[in-house]
């Protein structure tokens, strides 16, 4: 687990070489366990007798999950099928590692030196970050950006120079698709074919059917149904916004049609015109240190936790900080925070662990890591976050708490070791507390120390769904592409397949996929989110509906609701069926209405019903 984090957050050529060798050895190790017929015979015998063994509910659940693990890993295959299955698993591990390394290489090897004029329109925080990148890369130019998301987003939102926006956008969307040594097109075709063969060996009609058989959704049809329900509302809203953006662009002298590299730029202007809200007004209040402290504060209010700095513990990089996590005067875990982008670190944000919680061999407390990719400010200056970046801190803290609060005996069902479309619930529901009044009151201006003005907060809330059509379309289109890759035969090139899927759903020309195929790390750097990217939306149904429980209680920190959230969602791991866990927390099945309302896609009267349909 430590090595895996180093390869994601602090890698180099030597580590990557070791990684390419090690992933095959690890895959072979697990094949040796899951494809051992004698070992499976023992587990299978226990499974047959499970109701007569006198097991407590947690032990029974562990037996059932392990038995299912073995079956889904090929334990019931014939000897010849097991040999082929093992070859596929090893090859997929190798391909996934190469895919991720290729994306990182395209991000690291491509850098754009920019002049003062090309930086026109960029706010101070973005200029400082671009200047820092130029210094890091030892360039003579005053500014520089890379194709990583944290570097690209400010350009797309604020750069006045349309040519600059276009070239940076193209580099961003073409990661892994440049026809160079880092091109991932052939890797994708092989991965998709091998996954289909793997599913066929196990008796499934598609890889999506295989993956979703062990999920809350249950079937690709159920997942696709939710995606399509949200897609229609998102596309309708995006198309209405497109007309307004095109009109705004024309009013500013842009005669050319609106393009994908224009959308964010004019969306910022449209939000300002409609709501008098410029998100940059919030940045001086959203200092990274204060946002992290606010996330800790919420954990204290909900779950009685305290975070104490441990300056004596050295991280794997100088940017990494460590805290003891305390409850009732007792250390229950360690928390590592790694927040800044840098060379050798892949894009995105994630939670991982260095040690899992369990009680099987003594009381083993968890060591949890949150990793983000915020632009690092010049030495001595505070890091200022956007509202979306602040949400990312809360999102990853939600994952972190899912690990830190785990209270199980067996590591198989600890913390985040749950089905994919449940694992995002603890992270996504935690985002809601960022915009609660008592939390926002903790943010003060970096220079004046004044709190956020109420008038600014009112404009922020009014503009909350300002660009939700775009956000819905770019996400749901990526999730549908994922489902189609893993549900149907892939014909032609990767580019042709992607184009056909988007044409089939009526993708607006001016909006790009949130993750194009060749840099879709969720899908192809491993199998965790393969045929599972929909899970963010499935979990959003749960989190939007679940947070309503606090609203109904009239208190965002209502003790009774907090206890149910702790007992059935955050601490329970995989102790029970996940639909049952949600019902125990909420008192009923979830309704999709809250999600649609939160995204501004419908009014309360226009929707309802559970995600299962």
- pLDDT tens digits, one per residue of 284-340: 999 999 999 999 999 999 999 999 999 999 999 999 999 999 999 999 999 999 999
pLDDT tens, position by position, 416-469: 999 999 999 999 999 999 999 999 999 999 999 999 999 999 999 999 999 999
Give the pLDDT mean for 585-600: 94
* pLDDT tier at 602, thresholds 50, 70, 90: confident
pLDDT at 603: 55
pLDDT at 125: 87
How far, in Å, are 134, 367, 454 from residue 150 at the CA level?
15, 27, 29
Q: Are 240 and 510 in contact (CB under 8 A)?
A: no
The DSSP bridge partners found for residue 307 are: 325
How far, in Å, are 156, 173, 384 from residue 503 at the CA level?
25, 18, 39
Structure tokens at 526: 């491993």
User: Which of 559, 554, 558, 579 is closest to 569 using CA atoms?
Assistant: 579
First to last CA, the chain: 38
Which DSSP letter does residue 453 get?
P
How far, in Å, are 195, 320, 396, 431, 476 from residue 490 at the CA level?
12, 42, 34, 37, 20
Residue spans per domain, the chain? 2-104+197-212, 110-173, 220-277+465-533, 284-439
At the topology level, CATH places domain 284-439 in 1.10.1370
Structure tokens at 304: 């009685």
* pLDDT tier at 491, thresholds 50, 70, 90: confident
Q: Are 306 and 300 in contact (CB under 8 A)?
A: yes
Other Cβ atoms within 10 Å of 214 Cβ, number:
14
CA gap 261, 257 in Å, rounded: 11
CA gap 370, 390 in Å, rounded: 13
CA gap 267, 532 in Å, rounded: 29
106-131 burial, b for 16+ CB within 10 Å, e for fewer?
bbbebbbbbeeebbebbeebbbbbbb
CA gap 277, 230 in Å, rounded: 26
Among candidate residues 396, 424, 474, 498, the one labeled active-site is 396
pLDDT at 608: 42
Give the pLDDT mean for 394-402: 98
pLDDT tens, position by position, 189-215: 999 999 999 999 999 999 999 999 999
User: Which of 262, 162, 148, 174 is closest to 508 using CA atoms?
Assistant: 262
Structure tokens at 456: 């600014």
CA gap 67, 314 in Å, rounded: 40
Question: Residue 604: pLDDT above 50?
Answer: no
Give the pLDDT mean for 547-556: 98
143-145 and 112-114 as β-strands: parallel, antiparallel, unpaired? Answer: antiparallel
Mean pLDDT of the chain: 95
Instruction: State yes or no: is 205 an active-site residue.
Output: no
SS3 159: coil
SS3 219: coil
363-401 burial, b for 16+ CB within 10 Å, e for fewer?
eebbbbbbbbbbbbbeeeeebbbbbebbbbbbbbbbbbb
pLDDT tens, position by position, 75-94: 999 999 999 999 999 999 99
């Amino acid at each position: 687990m430590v090595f895996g984090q180093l390869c994601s957050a602090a890698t180099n050529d030597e580590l990557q070489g070791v990684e390419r060798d090690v992933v095959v050895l690890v895959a072979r190790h697990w094949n040796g366990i899951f494809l051992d017929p004698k070992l499976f015979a023992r587990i299978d015998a226990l499974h047959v007798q499970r109701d007569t063994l006198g097991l407590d509910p947690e032990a029974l659940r562990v037996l059932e999950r392990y038995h299912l693990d073995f079956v889904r890993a090929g334990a019931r295959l014939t000897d010849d099928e097991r040999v082929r299955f093992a070859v596929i698993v090893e090859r997929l591990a190798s391909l996934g590692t190469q895919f991720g390394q290729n994306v990182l290489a395209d991000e690291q090897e491509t850098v754009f030196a920019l002049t003062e004029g090309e930086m026109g329109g960029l706010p101070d925080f973005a200029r400082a970050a671009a200047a820092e990148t130029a210094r890091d890369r030892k360039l003579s130019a005053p500014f520089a950006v890379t194709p990583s998301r944290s570097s690209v987003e400010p350009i797309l939102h604020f750069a006045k120079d349309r040519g600059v926006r276009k070239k940076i956008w193209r580099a961003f969307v073409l990661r892994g698709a440049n026809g160079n040594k880092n091109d991932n097109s052939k890797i994708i075709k092989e991965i998709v074919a091998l996954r289909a063969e793997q599913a066929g060996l196990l008796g499934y009609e598609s890889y999506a059917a295989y993956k979703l058989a062990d999920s809350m959704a249950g079937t690709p049809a159920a997942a696709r149904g939710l995606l399509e329900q949200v897609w229609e509302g998102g596309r309708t809203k995006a198309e209405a916004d497109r007309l307004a953006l095109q009109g705004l662009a024309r009013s500013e002298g842009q005669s050319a049609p609106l393009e994908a590299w224009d959308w964010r730029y004019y969306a910022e202007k449209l939000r300002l015109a409609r709501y008098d809200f410029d998100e940059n007004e919030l940045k001086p209040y959203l200092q990274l240190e204060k946002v992290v402290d606010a996330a800790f504060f919420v954990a204290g209010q909900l779950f009685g936790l305290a975070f104490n700095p441990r300056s004596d513990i050295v991280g794997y990089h100088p940017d990494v900080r460590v805290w003891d996590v305390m409850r009732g005067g007792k250390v229950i875990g360690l928390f590592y925070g790694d927040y800044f982008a840098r060379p050798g670190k892949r894009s995105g944000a994630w939670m991982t662990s260095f040690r899992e919680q369990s009680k099987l061999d003594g009381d083993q407390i968890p060591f949890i890591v949150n990793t983000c990719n915020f632009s690092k400010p010049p030495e001595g200056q505070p890091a200022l976050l956007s509202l979306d970046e602040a949400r990312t801190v809360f999102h990853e803290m939600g994952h972190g708490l899912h690990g830190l609060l785990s209270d199980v005996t067996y590591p198989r069902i600890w913390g985040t070791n749950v089905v994919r479309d449940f694992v995002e619930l603890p992270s996504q529901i935690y985002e809601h507390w960022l915009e609660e009044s008592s939390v926002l009151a903790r943010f003060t201006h970096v220079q004046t120390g004044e709190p956020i003005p109420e008038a600014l907060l009112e404009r922020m809330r009014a503009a909350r769904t300002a660009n939700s059509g775009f956000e819905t379309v770019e996400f749901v289109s990526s999730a549908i592409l994922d489902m189609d890759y893993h549900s149907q035969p892939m014909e032609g090139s990767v580019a042709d397949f992607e184009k056909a899927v988007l044409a089939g759903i009526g993708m607006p020309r001016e909006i790009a996929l949130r993750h194009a195929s060749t840099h879709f790390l969720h899908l192809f750097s491993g199998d965790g989110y393969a045929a599972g990217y929909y899970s963010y939306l499935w979990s959003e149904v749960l989190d939007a509906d679940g947070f309503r429980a606090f609203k109904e209680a009239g208190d965002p920190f209502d003790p009774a609701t907090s206890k149910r959230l702790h007992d059935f969602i955050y601490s329970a791991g995989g102790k029970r069926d996940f639909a049952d866990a949600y019902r125990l927390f909420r008192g009923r099945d979830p309704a999709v209405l809250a999600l649609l309302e939160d995204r501004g896609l419908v009014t309360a009267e226009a929707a309802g019903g559970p995600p299962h349909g």
